[in-house]
Amino acid sequence: MTLKLARLLLLSFSLTLTFAVAAQTADNPPSRSVLQLTVEDVIGPATEDYITRAIEQAPRERVGLIIIRMDTPGGLDSAMRGIIKTITNSPIPVVTYVAPTGSRAASAGTYILYASHIAAMAPGTNLGAATPVKLGSPGQPDKQPPSDSESDQTGNAKSASERKAINDAVAYIRGLAELRGRNAEWAEKAVRQAASLSAGQALEKNVIDLVARSTADLLQQLDGRELEVLGQTVTLNTLEMNVKTTNPDWRSRLLSVITNPNIAYILMLIGIYGLIFEFSNPGAIVPGTIGAICLLLGLYAMQLLPINYAGMALLLLGIALMIGEAYQPSFGMLGIGGLIAFVFGSIILIDTSAPGYGINPGVIAAFALSSLLMFVVVIGLAIKSRRRPVASGMEQLLTDTGTVITADDHRATILIHSEHWQATCDQPLQPGQRVRVIAADGLTLQVEPLDEPANKEK
C-alpha cells in the first residue's frame, strides 16, 4: 500500500508540474523577432526574389516585424510591383527604413516606401523623383505632357504614350498613399514633376511616419504603435524583439549576377558562338557544352529583363550576316551590314532607362569588333582550308606520278613518295617507266603510263 501511495503521489506531482509549465508557456509565448532585410542596389529580379522569399518564410520563423533597410536609386517597374504585391499581402507588418545617413529611396524606392505599413527615414536621407524612367532621368523634372487637344492637333504618338505611362504611375502611387493614409498630393507631384524631399520635410508633409537615427531608435519609436494588417489591428511590442539580419543567399546572389544586363549579354553571345563553333567542327564537345550552358543562363536572365525583341532580332541578324560573309565573300557588304545590325541591336536590346540596367557601350564595341574578326577572318580561313584538296592519306596519291621498279606484264611495283606500291595497268609496263595514279583499290593502285618504255625500240 505504501508503494502504491508513493507512486500515486509521484504521478500527481508530475501532472501538476506539466500543467504549470504549459500554463506559463501559454501566458508567455516565446518572443517574436525582427527580420531585417537590406537593399543597397538597383531594384531588379534578384531584389524581388530576395524580399519575396524572405517575407513568405517569415511566418514560419515567428517573425513579428520585417524591416527593409533601403538605399536605392530605383530599378525595374516589374520588380518593384512584385515587391509591393508581397508587402501589401504580408500578414506581418513591413517597415521600409531609408538608412543610413546619405541614403535615398528614389524612383521605385519611393513606391515601395509608400506601400509599406510603416515608412521611416534616417536624418540626411531623401526620397522622390518617381517619374517613370523611360520619360526622364531620375531627379530631373519632366516636361508637363501636352493636353489632349494639343496631342490631337500634332498627332504626336510619343506624347500620348508618355501621358499614359505617367497617368498609370500617378494612379498607382495615389492608391498606395490612400491605402496607408499618406500624402497623395505630394506623391502625384513626385511622379509628374520628379519632386524630392528630405527626411524632415517628408515627415512634415505626412509622406513618412517617423524619422529614426538608428534601428534601435526605430524599434523604440514603434513600440506600442497600432497598425492595420490585412484588416486586423496589430499592436507592436518591439522592445522585446531581437533583430535578426538575413542577407541574400546563393540563389539571390547568382540571380543578381546573371541578371546584370552586361553579364546576360555576354553569356548569350558566348553561348551562340560556342554552338556555332560546335556545328562548324562537330565532335569538339567543349565549345558546344560551354555554349549550351551559357546560352541557357543568358536566356533565363534575358526573360527576367525588359527585352526589346526588335533589338534581339537585329542582334541575331547581324551575327547571321557576318557568318554569311565568311561563307560567301561579298567584298565586305555582308560583314559591314552585319556589324551595323549587331551594334544597333545591342544598343536597343534592353528596353528600359532604369539606372544600372543598360549595356555598357565598351562591351558592345568589344564584342562587335571581335565578332566581325572571328566570323570574317577565323571562320573564313577555316572554310577555305576545308575546301582545299586533301594533302595526306590515300587521297594524296591520286593524280600523283611515280616510277616503275619491277613489272610483270600488267602488274608492277612502283615507287611513289619514297614508298613501294603494288599497281595494275591496262597496258604492259616496264621498269623505269613513268606512270600516273588514277584510282586505288585498297592497297593496290591503278595507273596509266606517261611515257614509252625506256628500252622500247623506235
Q: Can you point out the beta strands (E) in 178-291?
A: 196-198, 210-211, 226-229, 232-235, 242-245
Residue 259: closest CA among 5, 47, 31: 47
For residues 146 and 385, which has the higher predicted lDDT (pLDDT)?
385
Residue 91: closest CA among 254, 234, 274, 270: 234
What is the reported pTM? 0.69
Q: What per-residue confidence (pLDDT) applies to 214?
A: 94
Inter-CA distances, 348 with 78, 307, 336, 353, Å: 19, 9, 19, 10
Reported as a pLDDT band with limits 50, 70 and 90, residue 101 is: very high
| Domain 394-449, classified CATH 3.30.70.360, yes or no | no
Chain centroid offset of residue 309 CA: 16
Per-domain boundaries in the chain:
23-249, 259-387, 394-449
Please, which residues have CB within 8 angstroms of residue 71's CB and are 6 or more apart in sequence? 39, 40, 98, 99, 100, 103, 104, 105
- CA torsion sign for 245, 251, 253, 259 is negative
Reported as a pLDDT band with limits 50, 70 and 90, residue 56 is: very high
Q: What per-residue confidence (pLDDT) applies to 184?
A: 94
Q: What per-residue confidence (pLDDT) applies to 84?
A: 96
Q: What per-residue confidence (pLDDT) applies to 19?
A: 46
Reported as a pLDDT band with limits 50, 70 and 90, residue 178 is: very high
Q: What per-residue confidence (pLDDT) applies to 306?
A: 85
Please, which residues have CB within 8 angstroms of residue 433's CB and are 6 or more apart in sequence? 403, 404, 407, 449, 450, 451, 452, 453, 454
Query: Per residue in 339-369, pLDDT tens?
Result: 888 889 988 888 776 766 778 888 888 888 8
Q: What per-residue confidence (pLDDT) applies to 274?
A: 87
Q: What per-residue confidence (pLDDT) applies to 371?
A: 77
User: For residue 109, what is its C-alpha cell?
Assistant: 524606392
Phi, psi (deg, nearest 5) at residue 37: -110, 155
The arithmetic mean of pLDDT across residues 142-151, rounded, is: 42
Query: Per residue in 250-304, pLDDT tens?
Result: 888 888 889 888 999 999 989 988 888 887 777 778 888 998 999 999 989 888 8
User: For residue 33, what is its C-alpha cell?
Assistant: 523577432
Chain centroid offset of residue 62 CA: 33
Per DSSP, 417 falls in state: T
For residues 323 and 2, which has the higher predicted lDDT (pLDDT)?
323
- For 162, the enclosing helix (H) or strand (E) is helix 157-180
- For 266, the enclosing helix (H) or strand (E) is helix 261-280
pLDDT(170) > 90 = yes
Same fold, 23-249 and 394-449: no
pLDDT(389) > 80 = no
Strand 419-425 and strand 63-70: the pairing is unpaired
AA letter at 167: N
CATH classification of 23-249, choosing from 3.40.50.720, 3.90.226.10, 3.40.1180.10, 3.40.50.300?
3.90.226.10
Q: What per-residue confidence (pLDDT) applies to 286?
A: 85
Interatomic CA distance for residues 359 and 348, integer angstroms: 9
233-238: Cβ within 8 A, 24+ apart: 234/93, 236/64, 236/65, 236/93, 237/64, 238/34, 238/64, 238/65
The arithmetic mean of pLDDT across residues 166-175, rounded, is: 93
| Percent over 90 (pLDDT), the chain | 37
The arithmetic mean of pLDDT across residues 129-153, rounded, is: 49
For residues 137 and 8, which has the higher predicted lDDT (pLDDT)?
8
pLDDT(155) > 50 = no
Phi, psi (deg, nearest 5) at residue 283: 100, -5
Strand 232-235 and strand 226-229: the pairing is antiparallel
Query: What is the greatest pairwise CA distance in the chain?
Result: 146
Q: What per-residue confidence (pLDDT) applies to 381?
A: 61
Interatomic CA distance for residues 84 and 121, integer angstroms: 18
Q: What per-residue confidence (pLDDT) applies to 14?
A: 56
Alpha helices in 67-156 (DSSP H): 77-88, 108-115, 148-154
List, in sequence order, every residue forming a beta bridge with 66; answer none if it has no partner.
Answer: 35, 94
Give me the chain's average pLDDT, please.
81
Q: If you compute the radius of gyration of the chain from its CA atoms, what whole number of angstroms results?
A: 39
Interatomic CA distance for residues 218 and 99, integer angstroms: 11
